[in-house]
Amino acid sequence: MTFTRQPQPKLLEQEFPSQAISLYDGSAELIDGENTIRGEALIQISWYPFPFVSVKFVYYGEGLSDDIELNLDNTELKLAEINLVPRMKVVITKGLADGTGKRERFGYLKEPLIQGRTDNLSSVTFQIANFLFVNFSNDNFEYDDEGNETEIEREFWLPDSFGAQVIFEYGGWHIVLARLDDPFDFEKRLEAEGGYGISHICKIKRLDSKNFDLRESYEVINAFIYYISFLRGIWIAPLYILGFDAEGNQVLEEWRTPTIKADSWQSPYYSWGWDECAEVVDAFPGFMKKWQDETWQEVIQNSIQWYIEGYKHTNGYNSSIILVHSALEKIAWTHLNSNNYISSVGFQKLSSDDKIRLLLKTLNISLIPVNDNWEIIKLAKAYNWGTDELGSISIIMQVRNLLIHPKINKKENKIKLTESMMEEVFVVAHNYLLKCLLKLFDYPYGIDTYKHKLDKTKLFSND
């Protein structure tokens, strides 16, 4: 076996979920262009309401009346204990005083702070919270369908261990997703308490070993984050970017509040129920192919957004149904038109349910038959929404229309949708959206295996 020495980045460590992670704790100056106040700064990765880089600045004055009025539109922090670090642009949102002369100012990082260079990078690492602690393989060999073994080249880049890892490759880029060691007790706490826990570290480099800059790495990171968020069913965000040169020396450290507002720990019932590393990896090239297609990138980005946000149904299933339907219809137009199945005029002439049916047909996705266990079946029969094998699409469309359009006649005013009915409709629509995305990503395995994730609703017991 070949061991490849790689940079060994500093790991963000937590003893318990949602524990803040210190980036700097020491002397500092708070500057607003006219005033300079000397004190102590604590810079941390904080977690609520979502992961961000928080700022606490403490200084002392003689009395409450002597507090300095800062220009809060132009405040910067100078970190005295780190050489050659540029000033941090910060936003100060509030202040406290305790009557003893102690002052505390709180805020957050306004712009990313970059220490070091951003070009000629050989590899970049970042860490993520709340990805699943799945059993990525630590085996030294992998096997094909005929049982032939191939030696795996593992990357010795995590302190004191290989780290269970899985590798993604596409377009000349090599991405390693590695699980932190002994995480399962930590996962149990996350399941019980919620919150945020650093779970994995990622490394990105080029397959041809050529150098790249930070901007190029973010193009890969942003796509990969969308992909693993889709896998997880909640939003994941990259934390604590480090860059290394070809000799493994750290040449870049970036503190940044992620643009994606990562979610607290959840275990979605309706998300992709993958169990094996191969399932995680094998849809990635198809995802990247669509992501890098100018026709598809916005559609995939929106669809994953609505897929994840639809699951949350924070205020009920009504908004979730609207989001998932919007994704299906947007996918339908892009897929049908880009593959020359239909013109813009032809698409506009189709009813909403026929657009979705044609999408599913061309993707070879089986329709979910209407089931007598559905609570909404009584409404479907009473108002002739369709109860044949095409009925599930008709019911989705009818419910969606009732939610977004005003009820302007007596017939519509008589229809009362319960939350249980809307959950049924959402589960089926969300299942369709998941299968469409997997098909678009050229997922090589059977997509009907994920019906078991929805058994608790008894929607599929007659399949």
Peptide bond preceding 112 in cis form (omega within 30 of 0): no
3-state secondary structure at position 455? helix
Query: Amino acid identity of 154?
Result: R
Is residue 29 a contact partner of residue 36, using CB atoms and an 8 Å limit? yes
Instruction: In whole angstroms, give the CA distance from residue 76 to residue 33.
Output: 8
- Residue 148's pLDDT is 61
Q: How many residues does the chain have?
A: 463
* Residue-level pLDDT at 106: 93
How far, in Å, CA of 105 to CA of 97, rounded?
A: 9
| Rounded distance between C-alpha atoms, residue 43 and residue 23, angstroms | 5
CA 337 – CA 335 distance, rounded (Å): 6
What is the amino acid identity at position 189? R
Written as one string, the DSSP assignment of 365-422 is -------TT-TTHHHHHHTT---STTHHHHHHHHHHHHHHS---SHHHHH----HHHH
- Helix, strand, coil % in the chain, rounded to nearest 5: 35, 25, 40
For the entire predicted model, the pTM comes to: 0.89
pLDDT of residue 112: 95
Tell me the average confidence (pLDDT) per consecutive run of 10 residues in the chain, 463 residues long: 64 93 96 89 96 94 56 86 88 81 90 95 96 60 53 55 77 91 79 92 94 97 96 94 94 95 84 66 94 96 95 84 96 96 94 94 91 85 76 90 85 86 92 95 75 45 44
Q: Residue 29: count other Cβ atoms within 10 Å of its Cβ.
A: 18
Residue 281's pLDDT is what? 87
